[in-house]
């Protein structure tokens, strides 16, 4: 024992231990006099007892703890925790109420829920840290992060409301830890301040334990989040009061909010122009009971929106304020509202239907009782088509199917009728607006609630939980479905299943391309307009977008159209493998992924020479052209000679489905098409991006798709320098530079990883050189350069959804499946094309024969042309057996649709004469110039006929497959020409690079598109590379020899082929760089096997 403030002590008493166990006994007797005490107070005794109990909990079952002669029944830290929770509800097991885990010998953790605020009971080496510290934060942060992730998955709305500190506030954490050399904030040792990396151990909570914690606390956290959301939304509630003056653009009804408010109607319009029409109409009925408020675009889908999004959405807040809606209120009448009726006034198109649906969804999600009140929600319909007869009769049609049915009832003839299409409410005049409101009952339709099936239909359309059901809903869609607007009352389920579904279908078609041509509707309209205009001369993108909008019935914004045009012309790495339009100007680069494109009014474009090779003109007459707004427009789909959806890939998100198809090599696709044509098995194709020099490695294969890893290129130059010369596809240079700069020394970066950065990249070429210390270099190498510098990304082919030829969504697991489906459709069209060509040649032969007979008849005087009535002459030609050739029906349809190019003849006059002969039947004879009615012309026509007969016999021997092969040869030659030009451009760029002192030379592998260069970056010499611009090292003699093997095949030559051969053979005369010659020669040599 010690005395006098421990300045003196007694000698210890040491006796021989007789037992088999070693032990230590410490006796403590407080010096009461020293503390001016006569006895130990109750609080002190209680505190001492608690410390004994703490000791028992921390030491565990290995040590028996006795208090006042009694052993404490606490055998573990888990038992100790139960002392705090002894008043817990016994309806559940203790394990469910307080998950416990002994992570290792140094850490024990137990967690339960806390109703008020964050609580903790913790020990460090047996010391009670009553204020917690870094060890408690270490555990609490793991739990908080896990719970936040779970909440984000299960309830996005709650996740937006919750913050980590709010989740932590619902936790009660118990921790028993052993820490090396613990540091505390004071002598009382109430708070641990040791940093986590100095604990001497780790405590990574297991997924099983976190799952138990989630079950324990999640319910209370979500309940609190829901309460918080409702409390916040209450702040946006409206009230029933008089005229509102603080809502911009609201024309409030004079009686709104007053004693007659139940008779008032609020008209919500689609935009300001629609409001102007409504205001014009209200002038007829007066503004006492009608208010108008314009919506800006589409309403928020509140079913999937967060509380914050709803509170920040001005439309939502204003509608609640205008109507006087209150959160969580159940309405059995409309007496408490500022307006008794809500009228929706939108365009009669698909987007208008979507706006109606979103508004119905808004009411149903928050106040479903309102939808059950008769006549609360109504819609105002306007005509989408008006037919006016010359006698003054006017017919209005409120749906396109209704109009088309009427037109078909007239056998397609609308002579005497003037048709006007109303693209939106803004198309109607103020006069027409007044006419609508004069006959208000005709244009007003009530929505009616029958039973819960109506609510189920609304949820089906808008709930995230109904994704699979929504897919089935769309699969069951039947073309021709529409809502009969003659009905006065509209069931909510009918609106969803017969009108809103049309929007969902259209949205899907806008987002998911066709397997046949790889296009979405906007892209197809652009190509159609290119062919119609014969778009070979450059024009500004802004001007051309106006042309497309006018000639293809494009109903969306021209800015969006211009962006699509620019996208079809882009050719940087990661965009198109084959751009169908030429980029003349700044169309964007890989620096910013195309976002650096110039304004549409500054850049020019036109058709690329390769486009008509991919989409042959001969196919135009075979296509099924659509009709919209009385205008024949683009076809259902084009039929290219290779599947463009594989060439340029696609991605999109629509209602129910999304899609992603990577790019593939056109050469590989062509080679596989040839294999199919030759009845050979096709080879597996791998993703490929033009100009990409990195690697694309297959990392996982599943039944429904393959996962690929895309690697950039990074190599170590010396002990402190790395060079990056390629980024993963669609990782843009500017973004990556920002990432590297974040690793440099700065005020915010206390521990920078990099010492320096040199940026040498060009617009379409990547080149970074970075310096770092030897220590950081070792860390990077150990972790892996690609991973450390984020030069690897992944994508999968498990989501390749496309519309098939019948317009049905199909899922494809491999690109080969897409190719095979495409092959059968394309081959069928070659058969149709062959038939059309044969028919046309027969017609031309007949025409030539008739022309010879006609000229001889005129020369011999058998046919008198001069001074006769045209009708008599036509009848004579008929009687003499001349074949009539009226206008070509298919050709005329194509001409209307714009498939005929500029300069081709318009349809002929087919007015029928009294004798049954049409005026255009013999125009091919009567339109011959007088100078051709000679014997010399007869000889010329006979020669033409003989030549045509030979062509006809040759065509009859030709198979559809051989026609396809011929088109593929022409495409191959154009790809060769493009690669030749690209090689020249690359060589020119290298020659003019700043600081370029040597030419980059790469070795040639078995296939020039396979990169066998071994660098630190690749980490796998077997992976595929996309680089098709390598510079092989071979002799000039070899280059010449190999060039000769690359000549066009028999039957595929012609002037183009000859010109190309001359161009290659005369490389020396043109001053072409020897390295370029070698590169082209080796490239052609490597491809020769695929060209065979």
Residue 243 burial (C-beta neighbours within 10 Å; 0-12, 13-18, 19+): middle
Closest listed residue to residue 689, CA positions, set 573, 806, 827: 573
The position carrying tokens 């048709």 is 419
DSSP string, 258-301: STTGGG-EEEEEESHHHHHHHHHHHHHH-SSSEEEEEE-SSPP-
Could you tell me which residues come within 8 angstroms of residue 560 by beta carbon, excluding any fewer than 6 positions away?
Answer: 522
Active site residues: 602
DSSP annotation of 476: T
The position carrying tokens 């003989």 is 946
Residue 191 near residue 77 (C-beta atoms within 8 A): no
DSSP string, 89-103: -TTS-HHHHS-EEEE
Q: Could you give the CA distance from residue 235 to residue 232 in angstroms, rounded to a whole number?
A: 6
The position carrying tokens 């609190």 is 224
Start-to-end C-alpha separation, the chain = 103
Please give, one letter per residue, the 3-state secondary structure of 538-571. Answer: CEEHHHHHHHHHHHCCCCCCHHHHHHHHHHHHCC
Q: Which two tokens stand for residue 453?
A: 């099936």
Q: Which two tokens stand for residue 613?
A: 């090779």
Q: Could you give the CA distance from residue 373 to residue 83 in angstroms, rounded to a whole number?
A: 56
Q: How many CB atoms lie within 10 A of CB 87?
A: 6
Q: How many CB atoms lie within 10 A of CB 722?
A: 23
Q: Could you give the CA distance from residue 999 to residue 1008 in angstroms, rounded to a whole number?
A: 18
DSSP string, 214-258: HHHHHHHHHHHHHHHHHHHHGGG-----S---SSTT-B--TTTTS
Q: Could you give the CA distance from residue 107 to residue 135 in angstroms, rounded to a whole number?
A: 10
Which residues sit opposite 177 in a β-bridge?
107, 124
The position carrying tokens 């820490």 is 179
Q: Which two tokens stand for residue 60?
A: 């565990």
Q: Could you give the CA distance from residue 702 to residue 557 in angstroms, rounded to a whole number?
A: 41
Q: Which two tokens stand for residue 561?
A: 């159209």
Please give, one letter per residue, the 3-state secondary structure of 666-735. Answer: HHHHHHHHHHHHCCCCCCCCCECCCCCCCEEEEEEEECCEEEEEEECEEEEEECCEEEEEECCCCCCHHH
Which residues sit opposite 21 in a β-bridge?
none
Closest listed residue to residue 622, CA positions, set 896, 834, 846: 834
Q: Which two tokens stand for residue 960?
A: 């559809």
What b/e string do you get for 40-79 counting C-beta neighbours within 10 Å, with b at 16 or more?
Answer: eeeeeeeeeeeebbbbbbbbbeeeebeeeeeebebbbbbb
Q: Could you give the CA distance from residue 958 to residue 834 in angstroms, rounded to a whole number?
A: 8
| Residue 170 dihedral angles phi and psi, to the nearest 5° | -105, 15
Provide the 3-class DSSP secondary structure of residue 112: strand
Q: Could you give the CA distance from residue 924 to residue 319 in angstroms, rounded to a whole number?
A: 68
Closest listed residue to residue 642, CA positions, set 624, 660, 661, 665: 665
């Amino acid at each position: 024992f010690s005395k006098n403030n421990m300045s003196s002590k007694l000698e210890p008493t040491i006796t021989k231990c007789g037992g088999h166990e070693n032990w230590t006994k410490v006796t403590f007797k407080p010096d009461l006099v020293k503390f001016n005490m006569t006895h130990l107070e109750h609080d002190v005794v209680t505190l001492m007892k608690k410390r004994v109990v703490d000791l028992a909990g921390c030491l565990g079952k290995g040590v028996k703890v006795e208090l006042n002669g009694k052993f404490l029944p606490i055998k573990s830290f888990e038992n100790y925790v139960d002392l705090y929770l002894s008043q817990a509800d016994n309806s559940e097991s203790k394990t469910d109420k307080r998950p416990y885990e002994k992570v290792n010998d140094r850490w024990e953790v137990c967690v339960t829920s806390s109703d008020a605020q964050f609580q903790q009971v913790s020990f460090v080496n047996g010391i009670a840290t009553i204020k917690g510290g870094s060890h408690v934060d270490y555990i609490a942060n793991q739990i908080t992060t896990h719970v936040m992730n779970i909440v984000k998955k299960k309830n996005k709305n709650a996740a937006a409301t919750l913050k980590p500190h709010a989740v932590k506030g619902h936790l009660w954490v118990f921790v028993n830890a052993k820490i090396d050399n613990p540091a505390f904030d004071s002598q009382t040792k109430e708070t641990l301040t040791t940093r986590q990396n100095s604990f001497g151990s780790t405590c990574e909570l297991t997924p099983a334990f976190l799952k138990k914690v989630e079950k324990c606390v999640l319910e209370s956290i979500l309940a609190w989040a829901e309460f918080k959301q409702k409390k916040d939304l209450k702040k946006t509630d409206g009230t029933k009061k008089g005229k509102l003056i603080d809502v911009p653009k609201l024309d409030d009804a004079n009686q709104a909010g007053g004693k007659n408010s139940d008779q008032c109607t609020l008209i919500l319009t689609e935009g300001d122009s629609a409001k102007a029409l409504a205001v014009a109409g209200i002038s007829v009925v007066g503004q006492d009971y009608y208010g108008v408020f314009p919506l800006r675009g589409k309403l928020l889908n509140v079913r999937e929106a967060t509380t914050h999004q709803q509170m920040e959405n001005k439309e939502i807040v204003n509608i609640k304020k205008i109507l006087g809606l209150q959160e969580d209120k159940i309405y059995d009448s409309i007496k408490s509202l500022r307006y008794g009726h809500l009228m929706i006034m939108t365009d009669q198109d698909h987007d208008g239907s979507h706006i109606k649906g979103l508004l119905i969804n808004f009411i149903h999600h928050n106040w479903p009782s309102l939808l059950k009140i008769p006549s609360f929600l109504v819609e105002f319909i306007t005509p989408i088509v008006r037919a006016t007869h010359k006698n003054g009769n006017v017919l209005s049609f409120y749906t396109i199917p209704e109009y088309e049915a009427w037109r078909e009832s007239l056998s397609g003839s609308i002579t005497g009728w003037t048709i006007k299409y109303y693209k939106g409410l803004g198309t109607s005049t103020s006069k027409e607006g007044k006419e609508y409101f004069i006959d208000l009952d005709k244009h007003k339709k009530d929505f009616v609630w029958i039973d819960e099936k109506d609510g189920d239909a609304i949820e089906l359309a808008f709930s995230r939980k109904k994704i699979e059901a929504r897919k089935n809903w769309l699969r069951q869609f039947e073309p021709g479905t529409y809502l009969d607007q003659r009905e006065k009352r509209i069931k909510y389920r009918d609106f969803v299943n017969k009108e809103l579904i049309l929007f969902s279908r259209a949205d899907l078609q806008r987002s998911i391309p066709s397997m046949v041509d790889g296009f979405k509707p906007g892209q197809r309209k652009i190509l159609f307009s290119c062919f119609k205009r014969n778009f070979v001369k450059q024009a500004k993108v802004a001007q051309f977008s106006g042309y497309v909008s006018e000639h293809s019935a494009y109903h969306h914004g021209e800015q969006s159209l211009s962006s699509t045009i620019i996208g079809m012309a882009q050719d940087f790495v990661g965009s198109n493998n084959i751009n169908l339009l030429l980029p003349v100007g700044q169309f964007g680069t890989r620096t910013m992924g195309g976002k650096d494109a110039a304004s549409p009014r500054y850049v020019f474009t036109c058709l690329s020479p390769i486009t008509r090779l991919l989409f042959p003109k001969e196919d135009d007459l075979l296509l099924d052209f659509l009709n919209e707004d009385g205008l024949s427009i683009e076809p259902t789909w084009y039929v290219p000679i290779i599947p463009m959806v594989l060439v340029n890939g696609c991605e999109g998100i629509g209602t129910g489905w999304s899609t992603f198809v990577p790019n593939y090599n056109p050469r590989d696709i062509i080679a596989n098409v040839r294999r199919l044509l030759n009845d050979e098995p096709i080879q597996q194709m791998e993703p490929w991006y033009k100009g990409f020099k990195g690697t694309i490695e297959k990392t996982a294969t599943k039944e429904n798709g393959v996962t690929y890893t895309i690697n950039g290129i990074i190599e170590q130059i010396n002990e402190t320098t790395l060079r990056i010369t390629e980024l993963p596809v669609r990782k843009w240079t500017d973004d990556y530079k920002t990432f590297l700069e974040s690793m440099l020394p700065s005020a915010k970066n206390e521990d920078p990883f990099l010492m320096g950065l040199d940026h040498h990249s060009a617009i379409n070429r990547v080149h970074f050189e970075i310096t770092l210390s030897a220590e950081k270099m070792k860390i990077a190498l150990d972790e892996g350069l690609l991973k450390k510098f984020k030069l690897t990304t992944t994508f999968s082919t498990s989501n390749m959804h496309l519309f098939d030829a019948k317009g049905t969504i199909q899922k494809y697991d491999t690109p080969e499946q897409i190719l095979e489906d495409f092959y059968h459709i394309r081959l069928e069209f070659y058969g149709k094309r062959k038939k059309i060509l044969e028919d046309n040649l027969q017609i031309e032969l007949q025409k030539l024969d008739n022309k010879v007979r006609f000229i001889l008849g005129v020369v011999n005087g058998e046919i008198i042309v001069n001074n006769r009535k045209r009708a008599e002459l036509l009848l004579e030609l008929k009687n003499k057996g001349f074949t009539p050739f009226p206008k070509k029906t298919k050709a005329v349809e194509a001409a209307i649709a714009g498939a005929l190019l500029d300069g081709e003849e318009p349809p002929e006059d087919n007015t029928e004469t009294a004798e049954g002969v049409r005026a255009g039947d013999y125009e091919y004879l009567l339109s011959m110039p007088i100078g051709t009615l000679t014997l010399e012309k007869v000889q010329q026509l006979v020669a033409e006929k003989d030549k045509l007969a030979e062509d006809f016999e040759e065509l009859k021997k030709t198979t559809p497959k051989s026609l396809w092969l011929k088109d593929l040869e022409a495409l191959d030659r154009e790809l060769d020409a493009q690669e030749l030009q690209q090689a020249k451009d690359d060589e020119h760029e290298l020659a003019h690079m700043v600081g370029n002192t040597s030419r980059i030379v790469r070795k040639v592998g078995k296939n020039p598109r396979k990169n066998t260069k071994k660098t630190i970056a690749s980490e796998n010499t077997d992976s595929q590379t996309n680089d098709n611009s390598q510079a092989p090292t071979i002799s000039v003699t070899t280059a010449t020899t190999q060039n000769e093997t690359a000549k066009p095949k028999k039957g595929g030559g012609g002037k183009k082929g000859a010109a190309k051969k001359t161009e290659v053979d005369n490389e020396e005369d043109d001053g072409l760089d020897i390295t370029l010659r070698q590169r082209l020669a080796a490239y052609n040599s490597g491809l020769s096997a695929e060209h065979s």
